[in-house]
Structure 1
Amino acid sequence: MTFLEVAKRCLHDEPNKRPTMAQVVVQLESALEQLESSKSSAPEIACSDSVVSCAGETLHSISAEIEEKSSVDEQNMPLSLSERSKMVQNAEPSGRGAQVYKRNKTAYKLPRFLPWNALWKRANITKKSQLSIPEYFREEVESHRFDLATIAAATNNFSLPNEIGAGAFGTVYKGLLSTGQEVAVKRLSSNSYQANSVLKNEVLLLSKLQHPNLIKLLGYCLHGQERMLVYELMEKKSLNAYLFGETRHKLGWTIRFEIVIDIARGILHLHQDSGLKIIHRCIQASTILLNKEMKPKISAFGIARTLEEHQTETSTSRIFCSYGYMSPEYIMEGIFSVKSGVFSFGVLVLEIVSGRSISTFPDLMYCDWKTWNGGKALELLDKSMKGEFPADEALRCIQVGLLCVQKRRDDRPTMQSVLEMLEGEVPLFPQPLPPPMLKMKHTQFDDEDLDRLNQ
């Protein structure tokens, strides 16, 4: 039994002829044993993302289940390209955009870096650069696994007093491990295809990403229909709740500026320093979590994607994130790149310095640009600071934010340049061009859902 044969059985046209998940697990374990026994003569897997290769029998079984559920009706897509074209003013989709839509209309595939796709590549070797799968990776991912008893004990059997949030994918509980460490346990909905995909992405990416401004995944739990993710606890919850929630807090300039710098460092690590070229696809106030020291950490990697080393962009027929944070090319053509991440960061910067949410003020970008262009940029600062901020830093932040949200992606700076400008390493900045004028609309995950999910 080979991986390809297992895959073909799972994809059988007649449902009653597909194997059960228990049978799939047994078949995959058998195929894995055959692969390891013939390792010396087996060809290497063609895969450019070293972090996300075959990750053990358990994750293979999840991959099979997700692949079985991954046929998606186009009517259920969160936002179609035809809808996107109505939402951006003064921007016309290029001919290339039409080609993107044609190419993606029926290709609702899992991201190329997930283990199931690696299995397909194992059976169909391409001419791309070959990459061997290090044996230690499977062991490393497996070492992050918690048993159900440990999680149940930590959350007092998922008791109501331990529940700290509920959202699009499931419920979040506060827990206390036997080591004394406080954790947040995200218990995913068992009937959600997206939840399964989210778990795979989070485990495979966060197990390799280590940075002070990225959320730390402590592990995961798989038991029957139970799927759970275990994170470090972020005591202050999300930036969205802290700045714009019902119990919004006043923040001084120093903390705001440090939050901006730290988020920039985290995104730079994803885009460049990690060596993986990761596009988060949902940078917004709801996915930035704060610890008790007010240090921000980027969370919600469930829909993140990686680009190959030679790629500058890729496309999708499914877009996520709150609409105001999405770049015009992502909305219009489904194209995302590091520059779409820069755009989202720019919106976030303008929100942080002004204390105004893009959800409440959909014209935030354009109004800020007009105020800047009129020489009155300091009027944009949050009035709750009562003028207590260094003008040079404040102006620098606003200008960087406006440079990041320029309509053309080629005009936007890289995150490396963004960080250098924010830290004052670049003496002269270019003048920002007008941002796009957007009509506000939310996609499948709105701010409230993401905020509850990440509590």
Structure 2
Amino acid sequence: MTISSNLSLPSCGAGGGTCACRSQGLAALQALKSIWKNVPPNWAGADPCGDGWDGINCINNRVVTITLASINLSGQLSSDIAKLSELQTLDLSYNKDMIGPLPAAIGDVRKLSSLILVGCGFSGPVPPSIGSLQRLRYLSLNSNNFIGEIPPSIGNLANLYWLDLADNRLSGTIPVSNGSSPGLDMLVNTKHFHFGKNQLSGEIPPRLFNSNLTLIHLLLENNQLTGSIPSTVGLVRTLEVVRLDRNSLSGSVPQSLNNLTTVQELFLANNKLTGPLPNLTGMNLLNYVDMSNNSFDATDIPPWFSSLQSLTSLIMENTQIQGQLPVSLFSLFQLQTVLVGNPICNEGGNQNYCSIPQQSNSSYSTPAENCSPVSCTSDKISSPSCKCAYPYTGTLFFRAPSFSSFVNSSIFASLQQKLMVTFRSNSLPVDSVSLSNPTKNLDDYLVLNLHIFPSGQDYFNHTGISGMGFMLSNQTFKPPPEFGPFFFIGNSYPYFAGQTVGSHKSSNTSVIIGAAVGGTALFLLLLLAGVYAFRQKRRAESAAKKSDPFASWDPNTNSGGVPQLKGAKCFSFEELKRCTSNFAETNEIGTGGYGKVYRGTLPNGQLVAIKRAQQGSMQGGLEFKTEIELLSRVHHKNVVSLVGFCFEQGEQLLVYEYIANGTLKDSLSGRTGIRLDWMRRLRIALGAARGLQYLHDLANPPIIHRDIKSNNILLDERLNAKVADFGLSKPMGDSERGHVTTQVKGTMGYLDPEYYMTQQLTEKSDVYSFGVLLLELLTARSPIEKGKYIVREVKQVMDTTKDMYNLQSILDPIVASSMSSRSVEIFVDLSLRCVQELGANRPTMSEVVKEIENIMEMAGLNPNAESASTSASYEGVSKGFDHPYSNEGLFAYSGAYPPSKLEPK
């Protein structure tokens, strides 16, 4: 697996030639290698890109990502980093021996979008030059030893999404703008302020908060903040988690707090707050409230105690509560209430609320999966699937969980399941995960031990560790909502191939060497005697295999020419005849240049779509084998799954999962009767983008789809988007990173003009097609309609000074009537960035995904929530359309159209 970048790649630098820039970058990485210890073993060649160094990803022979988590790396980050002018992602997390200051030269890496140094040993001040990284979206410096003040220049990072400076030794006040200096109040696109466990002092500046902020997490716990809670916090209506506990805040809690109706976790404990107990009426999403150990005025139980139906934990120790508990409080069966140290506990009858509950299940551990744990040797551990292996280990910290009881083990089972789904959807080599020993630490964080077990062998390689570390450090993994914000601290992994320890290794070595020496002589004699016959046989077999690549393939064994398939089944032709009623016309659901598609029902009841090639369009056997091998490795919820195939009796058939609601093209045109409002279109765009991002970044090998269009985006029963039809797809081998020269193929109207002109295929060619798809979602028009090209039409009509950019005349009326006009405008901006003339100026699919997530959040949608309803509940009356695999409409381009037909002028 390769971790790819989040941003596009402009040209190499002003005044410097491409070769000079490349040479400078590779020399910089060699310089870093010289001062780092424990680098991956394959960092031996002279060319990090050409030699495929672990943890290094290159595009056009330029280093764009460095991801080296948990490999026991040690050393310092020198100013040589500035010479990596194309670097977009730097992740050195969980290497505690990476020490020293963060160099000011980091500010010269202007294309950096992710700077992730979680759980290292860096020290010194955070350099103000970070404010020069205008493309930065993720800044995670938590759990280091940084000192000094938060640089005000961070306020210049207009694209910043994630800001985590927690668990350092930062001091001073929280910087805000003052007319001549920037401040954190300018970060209107940032969703996360994580500043807990530092030494910040002074007041929380009222100017920090304004109605333009889109924060969802405000974490200021365990600092030295004083003064009152500013009333302006009530202006940030997007907040979901607020932690102000463990400071020295004083005064009354502002009444504006209950304007925060989306807050789910509220921590105000262990301050010096006074005045009346705050009124939280109307905060109906609150799950967890802790106001303990303050000096509020004596008060009876307030009505909101029992009116907030979502509450699961109400922690009110030492808050001067008195009187009688209302009967209505007892109806909230899920509510755990703690009133220790209040006058109410001296009045009798309230014993259940006046003691601190013990966590009876703190020894929880993930159970075995219907098997008996085995006894393992050396440092191996028995996994939940009862296999001995060397796991990758670490600790998960959840900063604001919505529950306080650990009795319900299903909570942790859901977390385990979500971890596995994320690992597998990102094609990481994980067999199982184990969670154990949940505890609440002194910071009120939920702490869990995590063990991740490898799949296919008993250890991970450097690429696997790097992938898992990056997934957990850059927040790719999204825990279930009840767990709230988290961070992970991984342990160094000492068990890479050839590095595992154990006395049995050395004792076996001499035996192996002795056997090898003794057998060599005999082997050579046999080899000389049989070499002539062997060569003759191989020549004959090779000739046969060229005409039939499956000649030596027994699907029931692992012999010979068996493709490396992952989950795809080999069907017999007779099986597929039976499940389609002998390919009956009534089961035909689509047709195209390749052949026909039939609906079938497997013996287990699963509905499938069977694509049968017609004789004139059949591929060669080798090409067909390559295609099924490629498709069998593609596993993502937003990519149509290959169930199996058939290659016999002169037939080529592909068996896919059946997708109920047809193509996006048909829904946009009204043929399916499904009404796609703006919110549903955003979800479809995000799903399609995630599927394409997976193909580019995480499939092994990476895949360029080459035919992204609305006919190849299918919608399931919940209108989740799935990328389909890999007939023109091109895998990118290690030798083809960056681009591959190939015959131009694609679909007229979606085809990247740069690809057409140069025949240089890159991931950015898919991005162009996806941009056209986004414009199609906006307008419900075909890319080329009545001689007009949608890209050109939008650019001509567009006026950014007007509402919805003056595009109402060409927007689909459903989109034009959207109440979220700003989200439509940003969506247009993203679409036009994707269809930039030069591929280098287009975003990567990783950036596209994050941008659509931001747009959804702006429109009030949770980008990680699944659709709650099936298509049967959507507006519109079905028109009986039942051909989700139709290939009607636009023609596939394979080199036959002149340029003038591709992009009308």
**Same-fold status (TM-score > 0.5):** yes
Specify which of 539, 552, 576 is matched with residue 5 of structure 1. 539
What is the CA-CA distance between 1:192 and the residue it aligns to?
Answer: 2.2
SS in structure 1 opposite 2:854?
A: coil
How far does the alpha carbon of each residue in 1:232-271 deviate from its partner, in whole angstroms, 9 at most, with x for none?
A: 1111111122213656653101111101111110111111
What is the CA-CA distance between 1:177 and the residue it aligns to?
Answer: 1.2
Residue 154 of structure 1 contacts residue 176 of structure 1 at CA under 8 Å; is this kept in 2?
yes
Specify which of 195, 211, 215 is matched with residue 636 of structure 2. 211
What is the CA-CA distance between 1:295 and the residue it aligns to?
Answer: 1.1
Residue 749 of structure 2 contacts residue 789 of structure 2 at CA under 8 Å; is this kept in 1?
no
d(CA) in 1 for partners of 2:667 and 2:576? 28
Write out aligned runs for 1:290-301 (5 A): 290-301=715-726
The two structures have a TM-score, normalised by structure 2, of 0.33
Structure 1: gaps spanning 5 or more residues: 12-18, 37-53, 60-136, 428-439, 447-455
SS in structure 2 opposite 1:402?
A: helix
What is the CA-CA distance between 1:359 and the residue it aligns to?
Answer: 2.9
What is the CA-CA distance between 1:373 and the residue it aligns to?
Answer: 4.3
What is the CA-CA distance between 1:173 and the residue it aligns to?
Answer: 0.8
Specify which of 785, 791, 795 is matched with residue 369 of structure 1. 795
Specify which of 762, 786, 811 is matched with residue 381 of structure 1. 811
Specify which of 324, 348, 357 is matched with residue 749 of structure 2. 324
Change (3 A) 1:398 1:4: farther
Residue 218 of structure 1 contacts residue 232 of structure 1 at CA under 8 Å; is this kept in 2?
yes
How far does the alpha carbon of each residue in 1:371-416 deviate from its partner, in whole angstroms, 9 at most, with x for none?
A: 3345342524311445134112211211101000000111111111
What is the CA-CA distance between 1:154 and the residue it aligns to?
Answer: 1.0
Aligned residue in 1 for 2:848 = 418
Q: Percent identity?
A: 29
Residue 396 of structure 1 contacts residue 422 of structure 1 at CA under 8 Å; is this kept in 2?
no
SS in structure 2 opposite 1:191?
A: helix
Aligned residue in 2 for 1:255 = 680
Amino acid of the residue matched to residue 590 of structure 2? G
d(CA) in 2 for partners of 1:417 and 1:426? 14
What is the CA-CA distance between 1:316 and the residue it aligns to?
Answer: 1.0
Aligned residue in 1 for 2:576 = 151
Aligned residue in 2 for 1:188 = 613
Amino acid of the residue matched to residue 5 of structure 1? R
Amino acid of the residue matched to residue 740 of structure 2? T
Q: Rg bigger for which structure?
A: 2
Residue 639 of structure 2 contacts residue 724 of structure 2 at CA under 8 Å; is this kept in 1?
yes
Specify which of 875, 878, 893 is matched with residue 443 of structure 1. 893
Aligned residue in 2 for 1:356 = 781
What is the CA-CA distance between 1:197 and the residue it aligns to?
Answer: 7.1
What is the CA-CA distance between 1:25 and the residue it aligns to?
Answer: 5.9
d(CA) in 1 for partners of 2:837 and 2:856? 23
Amino acid of the residue matched to residue 893 of structure 2? T
What is the CA-CA distance between 1:426 and the residue it aligns to?
Answer: 12
d(CA) in 1 for partners of 2:553 and 2:599? 35
The answer to whether the aligner puts 1:242 opposite 2:667 as a matched pair is yes
Write out aligned runs for 1:24-173 (5 A): 28=552, 56=562, 137=564, 140=566, 144-173=569-598
Higher helix share: 1
Structure 2: gaps spanning 5 or more residues: 1-533, 858-889, 897-905
Residue 618 of structure 2 contacts residue 652 of structure 2 at CA under 8 Å; is this kept in 1?
no
Specify which of 324, 341, 345 is matched with residue 766 of structure 2. 341
How far does the alpha carbon of each residue in 1:287-313 deviate from its partner, in whole angstroms, 9 at most, with x for none?
A: 111112111111111221122346211
d(CA) in 2 for partners of 1:329 and 1:314? 13
Residue 199 of structure 1 contacts residue 229 of structure 1 at CA under 8 Å; is this kept in 2?
no
Residue 313 of structure 1 contacts residue 335 of structure 1 at CA under 8 Å; is this kept in 2?
yes
d(CA) in 1 for partners of 2:814 and 2:856? 29
d(CA) in 2 for partners of 1:25 and 1:424? 48
The answer to whether the aligner puts 1:406 opposite 2:831 as a matched pair is no
Residue 324 of structure 1 contacts residue 441 of structure 1 at CA under 8 Å; is this kept in 2?
no
Residue 322 of structure 1 contacts residue 442 of structure 1 at CA under 8 Å; is this kept in 2?
yes
Amino acid of the residue matched to residue 368 of structure 1? V
How far does the alpha carbon of each residue in 1:105-124 deviate from its partner, in whole angstroms, 9 at most, with x for none?
A: xxxxxxxxxxxxxxxxxxxx
d(CA) in 1 for partners of 2:855 and 2:538? 53
Specify which of 729, 744, 760 is matched with residue 304 of structure 1. 729
What is the CA-CA distance between 1:351 and the residue it aligns to?
Answer: 0.5
Residue 201 of structure 1 contacts residue 304 of structure 1 at CA under 8 Å; is this kept in 2?
no
Change (3 A) 1:274 1:156: same
Higher strand share: 2
What is the CA-CA distance between 1:5 and the residue it aligns to?
Answer: 2.7
Equivalenced residue count is: 323
d(CA) in 2 for partners of 1:7 and 1:392? 65
Residue 253 of structure 1 contacts residue 389 of structure 1 at CA under 8 Å; is this kept in 2?
no
d(CA) in 1 for partners of 2:798 and 2:705? 29
Change (3 A) 1:146 1:9: closer
Specify which of 299, 303, 315 is matched with residue 741 of structure 2. 315
Aligned residue in 1 for 2:98 = none
Change (3 A) 1:352 1:20: closer
The answer to whether the aligner puts 1:227 opposite 2:227 as a matched pair is no
d(CA) in 2 for partners of 1:248 and 1:326? 29
Change (3 A) 1:219 1:339: same
CA RMSD, 1 decimal: 3.4
Aligned residue in 2 for 1:288 = 713
d(CA) in 1 for partners of 2:711 and 2:827? 20
SS in structure 2 opposite 1:297?
A: strand
How far does the alpha carbon of each residue in 1:406-435 deviate from its partner, in whole angstroms, 9 at most, with x for none?
A: 0011111111111122222899xxxxxxxx
What is the CA-CA distance between 1:145 and the residue it aligns to?
Answer: 0.6
